[in-house]
Structure 1
């Protein structure tokens, strides 16, 4: 008898079950996924079928090579004239290729040339048109495929030229560590030069599988989507077999269980960023052509300008810009540093950038874009809005190493009260790889979800890496598909521009009123060493900015007073500005680039100073036609009359200063009538007084100097002959004893300004950051301090106009010489202004990983110190109450840092240094660092720089520190000859009635023509309060109209200003009201003498 057991019930569910069951070991299944691509099983897994065909023999791929000698950079045309030699895979070179494409490959959708030189390269047509960038190697930035155009496939022949640059994406660090100096002897070998046919269906399966793995790895816990993705990925491995091509399609169907049925037909787009060179443009063309809903960003205007070197490529890019596929963002000349450029330099970044975009594309940027700058000055919001933008993107503060910045989307309110809508991507990078993890971070890291639940994903290989990779774009398409069917991942909204993203933020937050505010600077708690690294670049920046200010002012005056003899040199001025702005790139000016970059930067500064010297002299020759510079070879001191030396003051403050003039040749008989001469008898010291922005022989009498009774504060130096020196006048006194500053005395008040028992002077700190050598100085460097003592001090000038001592020491392999001087005049002409001590240093610096500073332990107490920033100042804590306070142990300042209490203060003034600190009562200026990466020779060699110590009566707001710092950075121009000039009668432009309003810039208008002459003046409130000022225009300048403009010099609606006429000789006065730290730009339309009907006739102000 047999018995039959039915295996099914009528409902389809089996009654009997003899199987083992379907229970998985999840972690082992998940671990199995790593075997499906590459690795040990690459000859069997999906990697084995990614290419249908591959050939590399001579009949299909012919290589020829020529290598540029040394570090030369030949043009494409120059290179193509050279003698190319046969080459093969395994060689090291940058080659020329001829490709023969098999005829039967016409049937395939894509044929591509795979070129992997192990380094970066550029693919060109044979006539020099860039096609795309190449990044060799096997990193995440690998990009080695060049698609053969369809017309070349039909022809069966394709010729290209590839320029190989022997560096990786981040250079050629000798140890392989990104920040290390380059290995100048490193070679790269050509790993592949193959014609290949990609198996598109296999590649799509690869991207399917990778997205599934990302879902599995990034969805922690035991979620339905994670398990569903793991089941699908595991089944894909089971279904695939390399010998059965149809298994690829079957495996892809399994992925639809997660992505959704037919998901491939649904379009997608998102934001992407590529940067910095022409490598990007070919790739960008590929992106927008292959992925039709994606939008490409390129930050720097300079990138577009480089693109113009290739006209046909530029026309294609321009077409994409006008179509909205390439979006203009940033609005600046380069992606600049924000800490150290002057306020006017930041204005010019936007002026040059925005006007360039408008001139080439008919549009300006709405969004400012500084994702990688090392901290952001609180002056920026006002400048961004003044440059016609209202949005701002950044992300660098996610690198903070002490505090977590509390906002993602917020209103950033600047020091003047101007706000800009700011988004700091929660993804915490501007080079995201477009992974599931990146998308998740957009919400999970978002700190303002109560106000806005939207974030911007900016992806692609930046830093010159060429932008997005196909895998990134494909990944986002799949993530988008997943979010259509599952809610465990945040939805991805694609196809909109960055401006539209910000527009949406405004509309969903009641025009920003629902967002939190952040007031003041965005201080980066990282990369603090960049305020000091590469001192020569810092000096070049400051001095070139001031040089450009003076050139523009003098050139403007020359063009106004002598229009028939002089044409404003706009082209040369703009060329110089472009070099200055380029050097403010956010890795150049901070000192964090490789050594070769600084060779080029130094050349730019040399060109600026050479050109600037000529431009200055051209303007002087027009304004003072019978004069020469005392520093010029044309000046012959042996035949000169000392009484004909005069000074030109390019600042808008009156001043009285001691200057050094030559006393040689036929004027030696004047020495006994001079109050003071140098020890060698070659120079004399004279006192000159100048009004604002004018010339004067001031207090110089007919023999070249005042009498002793006319010296306001005669100075003297006292010494015991060995180790005790005192510099003194009736205002202040400084004592050096045993190689240290032991006393700083206000003589008039009898007040000691140093803490009892403490000394000031130079101090060395061990400087070994945790990783980022040139970038960082860590808080623990303060624990390793070594005060330096001068070993040799001598008197070099006894007074009464100038008293000086030279203090010298040797430390390690370095020698330091500092001349400390006290002059017989106060720092400014302000009542009760004190004299200041000037420190002129010459340093032969040979240290490694040590940090040189100057410090003063002051007998002052305040919770805050004050530092100059662009168009204003900022107060920062001197204590360590919170971690936010602790983080500011090294900060950026411009021309001064001040510690004041009620009734008194002391400032340190700087002419080229930007790093400061004030911890408790110890005020410091940072002088030199000595990092060894990425530039192994950073700051090695000779340096010349100056700083000053300035005591002052009253608190900072009652002081003359900003004026004194301005003057300290603006030496008088000494000339010899006939002083006759329109400038002698008074200042052409001056501010009256508001000592807190500074006139910063005088220049010709950007839109001037042959028939239209305008003058642009930029003023700002410097102390942090309201002001009503009168802008006075001197005689000889005929003002037709006056307007307020934005920073781009667009006339603002209903902002024509009233000009009161002073006389028939021209001139006038304009009322201007300022609020705290406000910047105003005034445009004067200039008329001609005698056309009174063109003037505005109202009462004088």
Structure 2
């Protein structure tokens, strides 16, 4: 069969590029330009009132003439342009627009310079970026201001090379851009519409099969249209060319055509290759574009997630926020997601992940009266199996993601399914087959969505988020033109622009028997995000535990009338912490500027939270005559002898002896630890179980270094081939034995490797059936991965990894490609490996990345090695990532069950807090006074994640807990006086209670919990 497609395609490409697109906007005048470079172009942004005419204008503002072609914009600088001019005669009745080109490359919208256009009175017109160069003109006289941000292209076409552009101090002062255009143009509307017709038909035809008759009809129509076009009079003949296309553009889609719900979207990372301060401006620019388009195009429906981003607009650009609010009220600017930011969901702790939903949904309720119904996380790097239950408990109904399309080996088998979490909760979930959250609605993308959809024959529809993201301006009028043309077009899926709610309701109704996927949504990519940026990871962990303690002790002290509960401080601190859990901050994948600021913010938060805790505990200690111990243990096992130990656990000493080979033996009656002359753990005997924990011939606490140069995404990825080469750091420069003040004994080892050094401590404490380990490293390596190996003589097919509100099990074999690709995984405070009758927990204070592997055992059987990932050396986007000193604390708990792993993990992260009472005096020792919190677990496997006062400031007490061991059973709580209600995460009563059992007896409340069930209790008489 003869096909003229190639010939027509080449002809059409040239006509579009050289004749039609340039002719759609006809220049009729040029603008006069003046510029003011803030602090020479290198200054931080100023408020608009500082630059615009009026009483707030700053004395440093100095607009000077500026010509098209002149350079501007050192990296991260700001220049204000003033554009003035007059619409010339002869434009009456025509649509007139300005076209402004700040000097962009013709790619990467959202990653270059951007601008926001203001009127002299401070009102906002719209944003400017490489795909939004036009500005509407409202009269004959033109007087506008452009706040232009010289954001450097940190991610160039040849990406992932070390770059100095991620820090203002190293980015240089040379201008990056030249003003390329500032014109007054008339829109030739027939030409513009012809361009849209041709692009849609051409894009569709390219995707049709060679033998498809529709393909040939479209090609012939395109050829006729080009023949009807006089290239010497494009504007005069565009209508005639369009007439040749009427028949093919009016042919309706076939009844079985796939249905696509197109949702306007602009995925803006709250920080990434730009600092947070620039995201504030990016969000305003995109929102201004969207409301401008909503005003002019009745078809658009736009969805925006992240309450934090709405709050930034509200605070920094109230005029834009007022227009956003109007369109929210009309149902066309749709808040989605219900989270404070689009957070990482793998590493945030239990309560933090819940608070993402609490603070996000509450903001949308307070500002707009909207109960968001979907959790919207297109770009996070894997999804915790705790999420389905939290979706339900937040009052939401659906879940959307996109990132799993990036899997390296195993394509996810469904696009629409029910996702089952660790507790058995299921949430209706969609994964758009268009495989992008920044679609253009091009012919190739629409065809891919239809072909790729994996639930054909059972479901007929999918969702497509369309719009330029990352500051690129969101949806464009060209995208809406494509949607209109493909609403009912033969050869194309049917496209309708509608809200996420409309899609989810229709999809759920047509697919009630959607298949179930149980467990985590593991992303087979970006595994290095569990380790990159150590300070950020540790700041997150410390912050979560301090927030828990600040609420716990403040609520306890406030309930006793000793302090005022710090509602405002805690609210602000939680929101700051949640922002830092954004999926390019906590994972460690942003430029150095972002992580430098994050480290400073974590330090400031620690100081404020410590002051809150000190204030509350100081009030509770009061006039005690001696030491006061604050027991923040969130579980019922506080005070239980370690791991079921017998009387020997009461021993108050650690015996230290030397071995003939120069090693050291530590013995506390529960564990006997042999440290060899190299400072490695050569023996670990559980004296309670009378069992050697290490495999034959193995040595523990072994540092190992691997080469770590991923194929593409430096800070993001650890690729599997890293395991092919390993260097064991078993040489010791010096080994010494130290006696600790608490009676513990430590073997300290000094090591050197490459340009780095490490100090490792092996510590055994009196009465503890846990071996504490510490590594302090001065890390100076590039493109290396440092791990620490802890082998145990346990035959395990799987391991339990702590996640939010429980744990989940992963295979540690590689039977399938799915198992094999989980070669680097996340855990919070513990990993537990076991065989029937015996288990070992590895607990940690500072890291998230782990790998667990099985090895053949000398003499038969298999052993299990748990390794913690400590630090990496990626060079993009921050060339000196993690260079410096870091400390890691972790421990091995032999004989541990899951309950012990929970307890030891908490104990390592939140040790007992001791203060001295105001009435204590030197020389008169007294027994410590133990202060118990306002609420505590008395029996059962429940663990508290929050004890606080209600957000509505009624004075009610809110207690959140979960079943931690994965088993059904009773739990008993001690609670303050007052009626008890079961609530959702937002502290609203649930219609049906599922955990409370009978009336309370005194200060005790009984519950029966499902495995991993999360329960929120509200105590008191306040009205939620």
Deviation for aligned residue 1:547:
0.2
| 1:776 matched residue in structure 2 | 717
Contact 2:631 2:931 in 1 (8 A): no
Q: Which of 700, 704, 724 does residue 763 from structure 1 map onto?
A: 704
| 1:1050 matched residue in structure 2 | 988
| 1:252 match: secondary structure | helix
Deviation for aligned residue 1:989:
2.3
Deviation for aligned residue 1:321:
0.6
Q: Does 1:649 align with 2:631?
A: yes
Counterparts of 2:531 and 2:398, CA distance in 1: 30
Counterparts of 1:986 and 1:895, CA distance in 2: 23
| 1:508 matched residue in structure 2 | 510
Contact 1:443 1:453 in 2 (8 A): no
Deviation for aligned residue 1:945:
2.3
Q: Which of 974, 992, 1015 does residue 1080 from structure 1 map onto?
A: 1015
Q: Which of 883, 887, 900 does residue 821 from structure 2 map onto?
A: 887
Deviation for aligned residue 1:105:
5.1
| 2:216 matched residue in structure 1 | 227
How many pairs align? Answer: 949
Change (3 A) 1:380 1:179: farther
Q: Which of 213, 238, 263 does residue 271 from structure 1 map onto?
A: 263
Counterparts of 2:917 and 2:217, CA distance in 1: 89
Counterparts of 2:502 and 2:156, CA distance in 1: 44
Change (3 A) 1:98 1:985: closer
Counterparts of 1:262 and 1:490, CA distance in 2: 10
Counterparts of 2:378 and 2:473, CA distance in 1: 17
Q: Which of 452, 457, 465 does residue 459 from structure 2 map onto?
A: 452
Structure 2: gaps of 5 or more residues: 52-56, 74-78, 105-112, 166-170, 254-259, 269-282, 855-863, 921-926
Contact 1:181 1:594 in 2 (8 A): no
Q: Does 1:321 align with 2:328?
A: yes
Counterparts of 2:2 and 2:377, CA distance in 1: 52
| 1:719 matched residue in structure 2 | 658
Q: Does 1:74 align with 2:73?
A: no
| 1:1008 matched residue in structure 2 | 953
| 1:101 matched residue in structure 2 | 86
Contact 1:1001 1:1019 in 2 (8 A): yes
Counterparts of 2:631 and 2:718, CA distance in 1: 39
Deviation for aligned residue 1:998:
1.2
TM-score normalised by length of structure 1 = 0.82
Deviation for aligned residue 1:1018:
0.6
Q: Does 1:619 align with 2:608?
A: no
| 2:195 matched residue in structure 1 | 206
Deviation for aligned residue 1:905:
2.1
| 2:141 matched residue in structure 1 | 157
Counterparts of 1:690 and 1:278, CA distance in 2: 55
Counterparts of 1:617 and 1:432, CA distance in 2: 51
| 1:306 matched residue in structure 2 | 312
| 1:1051 match: secondary structure | coil
| 2:128 matched residue in structure 1 | 134
Q: Which of 800, 808, 822 does residue 874 from structure 1 map onto?
A: 808
Counterparts of 2:368 and 2:716, CA distance in 1: 37
Deviation for aligned residue 1:950:
1.5
Deviation for aligned residue 1:476:
1.7
Range with bigger deviation, 28-37 or 1022-1031: 28-37
> Following superposition of structure 1 onto structure 2, how do residues 63-462 of structure 1 map, counting pairs within 5 Å?
63-67=35-39, 70=42, 72-79=44-51, 80-81=57-58, 82-90=61-69, 91-93=71-73, 94-104=79-89, 106-117=91-102, 118=104, 119-136=113-130, 142-148=131-137, 150=138, 153=139, 156-167=140-151, 171-173=153-155, 176-177=158-159, 181-183=163-165, 184-185=171-172, 187-244=176-233, 245-260=235-250, 270-276=262-268, 277-308=283-314, 309-462=316-469
Counterparts of 1:67 and 1:712, CA distance in 2: 68
| 2:670 matched residue in structure 1 | 731
Q: Does 1:901 align with 2:873?
A: no
Contact 2:31 2:184 in 1 (8 A): no
| 2:859 matched residue in structure 1 | none
Q: Deviations over 1:968-1001 (max 9, x none)?
A: 110222212248999847554222331x111221
Contact 1:763 1:785 in 2 (8 A): yes
Contact 1:66 1:84 in 2 (8 A): no
| 1:107 match: secondary structure | coil
| 2:880 matched residue in structure 1 | 937
Change (3 A) 1:767 1:518: same
Change (3 A) 1:714 1:66: closer
Change (3 A) 1:64 1:868: closer
Range with bigger deviation, 117-126 or 806-815: 117-126
Deviation for aligned residue 1:857:
2.5
Counterparts of 1:503 and 1:783, CA distance in 2: 49
| 1:274 match: secondary structure | coil
Counterparts of 1:508 and 1:710, CA distance in 2: 62
> Following superposition of structure 1 onto structure 2, how do residues 734-883 of structure 1 map, counting pairs within 5 Å?
734-739=673-678, 740-760=680-700, 761-789=702-730, 790-797=732-739, 801-826=743-768, 835-883=769-817
Range with bigger deviation, 936-945 or 985-994: 985-994
Change (3 A) 1:883 1:253: same
Contact 2:649 2:669 in 1 (8 A): no
Q: Deviations over 1:992-1037 (max 9, x none)?
A: 331x11122100011233xxx200001110111111112223xxx4
| 2:487 matched residue in structure 1 | 480
Provide the alpha-carbon RMSD of the alignment.
2.8
Contact 1:332 1:349 in 2 (8 A): yes
Q: Deviations over 1:816-851 (max 9, x none)?
A: 11222110022xxxxxxxx21212222211111100
Counterparts of 2:640 and 2:893, CA distance in 1: 21
Q: Does 1:36 align with 2:15?
A: yes
Change (3 A) 1:179 1:215: farther
Contact 2:160 2:876 in 1 (8 A): no
Change (3 A) 1:125 1:722: farther
Change (3 A) 1:164 1:727: farther
Contact 2:948 2:957 in 1 (8 A): yes
Counterparts of 2:31 and 2:321, CA distance in 1: 36
Change (3 A) 1:839 1:262: closer
Structure 1: gaps of 5 or more residues: 1-21, 137-141, 628-642, 657-688, 693-707, 827-834, 1088-1093, 1095-1101
Counterparts of 1:1026 and 1:581, CA distance in 2: 32
Q: Deviations over 1:867-888 (max 9, x none)?
A: 1000010111111100011011
| 1:340 match: secondary structure | coil
| 1:700 matched residue in structure 2 | none
Counterparts of 1:415 and 1:709, CA distance in 2: 38
Counterparts of 2:266 and 2:711, CA distance in 1: 30
Counterparts of 2:687 and 2:161, CA distance in 1: 51
Contact 2:670 2:686 in 1 (8 A): yes
| 1:1071 matched residue in structure 2 | 1006
| 1:464 match: secondary structure | coil
| 2:244 match: secondary structure | helix
Q: Does 1:53 align with 2:53?
A: no
Counterparts of 1:419 and 1:654, CA distance in 2: 29
Contact 2:401 2:431 in 1 (8 A): yes
| 2:592 matched residue in structure 1 | 595
Counterparts of 1:615 and 1:813, CA distance in 2: 41
Counterparts of 1:922 and 1:316, CA distance in 2: 57
Q: Does 1:554 align with 2:553?
A: yes
| 2:605 matched residue in structure 1 | 608
Counterparts of 1:902 and 1:527, CA distance in 2: 34
Change (3 A) 1:653 1:292: closer
Counterparts of 1:269 and 1:865, CA distance in 2: 41
Select the structure of larger CA radius of gyration. Answer: 1
